[in-house]
Amino acid sequence: MHLEILMSLPSPILITNAKILTMDPAAPRAEALLLKDGKIAAIGSRSDVEALATPGTRIIDAGGSTVLPGLSENHLHLFSGSAELDHLQLKGIQGFDALKMAAQAYAADMPDEVVLFGQGADYTILGGDERVTRHHLDRIIPDRPFAIFAPDHHTAWANTPALELAGLLHGKQLGPGNEVVMGEDGLASGELREMEAFGPLQSAAGFDRYRLGLATGGEPDPYPTGAEFEKDISVMRRGLDYCARHGFTSLQCMDGNLYQLELLAEIEKRDGFLPLRVRIPFHLKNFMPLSMLEKASKMAETYNSDFLSSGTVKMFYDGVLDSWTAIMVEPYANKPESTGGESLFTPDEMKAAAIEIDRRGLQIAVHAIGDGAVRAVLDGYEAARTANGPRDSRHRVEHVEVIHPADIHRFAELGAIASMQPPHPPGSMGLPLEPTVSMIGRERWPYSYAWRTLKDAGAHIPFASDWPVSPIDPLEGIEAAITRKKWQDSDPDQSFTLMEAIAAYTVEGAYAEFAEDRKGMLKQGYFADVTILDADMEATAPEEIHTIRPAAVICGGRVTFEA
């Protein structure tokens, strides 16, 4: 349904006949709860809470289904993900013929697109070890610019017209960690690694506004007005609606700029409320002087409400495994001459940035995939603690796909958060095992996507999807976390229990944004943020959890989605 616009405080809501998992250790289960004035007014037994209902209270009978604290998506890219909903979706497409059929049908439906974009193309979409080139894509669409992106959004493949449009056919000098891969004929092969490489193509297509928060951390120039601004408002609304219908009440975005905050503030002004609580970071790029962090501080000061906030600085340290751009301590198993691409920050630059961000009292969140990158980021956090003194900083490391065993204990010691994604391990949610597991190497398998290992060592583990890199559905994420399989019998079991997985989308998400005193649990006085499911989650087989859907979502006491 469309988000309902209510300019005043919502009417009280009684949720009853429910199997409520409160996530509150002091009272873990309840049967009913009463929401009033944006807060939880009462929670407990059905008879006790129903007695508190007054005339005008809306009653929602949960029918014995599970009710949870409002779910928190703890790492996503809201603006670009919203815009990409119009692109060709390639998840599950395998083989040249299937790609050709899907792409040509999409092209016929989109006659006016400057560039035809596809999203979610697996690195092995052609099968085996064959990598996509411009020649493959030319055979599919020879006369229009066409490019497809890997699910991780760190690699794109473009056809010849697209490379010509972006001025990339003859290559381009780029910054560390970015590459226009060249072919033996002296022309671009079509593979574009990292944002500086494919950014010119997105810019030529007019898509760069939606990627600015990731690509440059800067603002649109010229600033959108009129129809362009209204289009961006519409895109942002579509993303908010998409997140609400998947059960979320809180979003921690990992791409950001001031423009995104201004769009969300405009929606809140027009409607009188936001349908989700949204946190937007400042993005520090390696070409920025540290003096740019003054902007991050101003964003945090200006936007600090319960519904719209800043206060986090996002960075990228490395790339991804599948393009050999993640930084490893030891060489890749299938590329013994390489420990990865160039890091986007040097270790000394990482330390200097961490010290200055921490000095300003801001939170840091750094993309670090390889064990070498994770180590460098933790070194930065340690340098900040040494320079500025210990504080409850809750600095984050995003993804932690491989960790060196010597660094496992450092998360708890530094109070750092390991932000991890159940959809990401090879073999999860339909992802192929190859080529990733062979790139990592058997010796590192026990330390790859090591959620359980890090949790047992005392780290806080919030879960997320990294949407649009992976499907946003938290029910699929919970299923992936509890059904996680080993790659070899000798590997440690990294799976979570059902309650641990739910906690990673609720209480751990609240902890990651310093809000555990007011959300993440269903508890009297906490925010009236609730996700009502359409089934009893505990009675559902683990491998069937993905079939459960949100029946209703309530944020701040307002119904933001109803099935």
Structural domain boundaries in the chain = 13-68+523-562, 79-215, 282-512
Of 252, 146, 285, the closest CA to residue 519 belongs to: 252
What distance in Å separates the CA atoms of residue 504 and residue 500, rounded to the nearest whole number? 6
Of the listed ranges 1-5, 173-177, 538-542, the one predicted with least confidence: 1-5
Burial class (CB in 10 A: 0-12, 13-18, 19+), 139: exposed
Q: Per-residue confidence at 382, pLDDT binned at 50, 70, 90?
A: very high
CB 470 within 8 A of CB 425: no
Any bridge partners for residue 58, and if so which?
13
Give the per-residue pLDDT at 215. Answer: 87
What single letter denotes the amino acid at residue 441? G
Q: What one-character DSSP code corresponds to residue 321?
A: G
DSSP state letters, 307-368: SEE--EEEEE----GGGT-S--SS-BTTBTT-S-S--SS-HHHHHHHHHHHHHTT-EEEEEE
Each residue of 334-371: pLDDT tens digit? 999 999 989 999 999 999 999 999 999 999 999 999 99
Mean pLDDT of 281-295: 97
Mean pLDDT of 474-500: 98
Length of the chain: 563
What distance in Å separates the CA atoms of residue 25 and residue 31, rounded to the nearest whole number? 16
**C-alpha of 17 from chain center:** 33
pLDDT at 465 over 50: yes
CB 63 within 8 A of CB 40: no
> Both tokens of residue 307?
């519904």
13-68+523-562 domain in CATH 3.40.190.10?
A: no
Give the pairing of strands 58-61 and 39-44: unpaired
CATH code for the part of the protein at 79-215: 3.10.310.70
CB 397 within 8 A of CB 417: yes
What distance in Å separates the CA atoms of residue 432 and residue 447, rounded to the nearest whole number? 19
State whether residue 32 is helix, strand or coil: strand
- Architecture of the structural domain at 282-512: Alpha-Beta Barrel (3.20)
Helix (H) or strand (E) holding 530: strand 530-533
The H-assigned helical ranges of 342-487 are 347-359, 371-388, 410-414, 436-440, 451-456, 474-482
Q: Is the pTM of this model over 0.95?
A: no
Give the pairing of strands 530-533 and 66-69: antiparallel
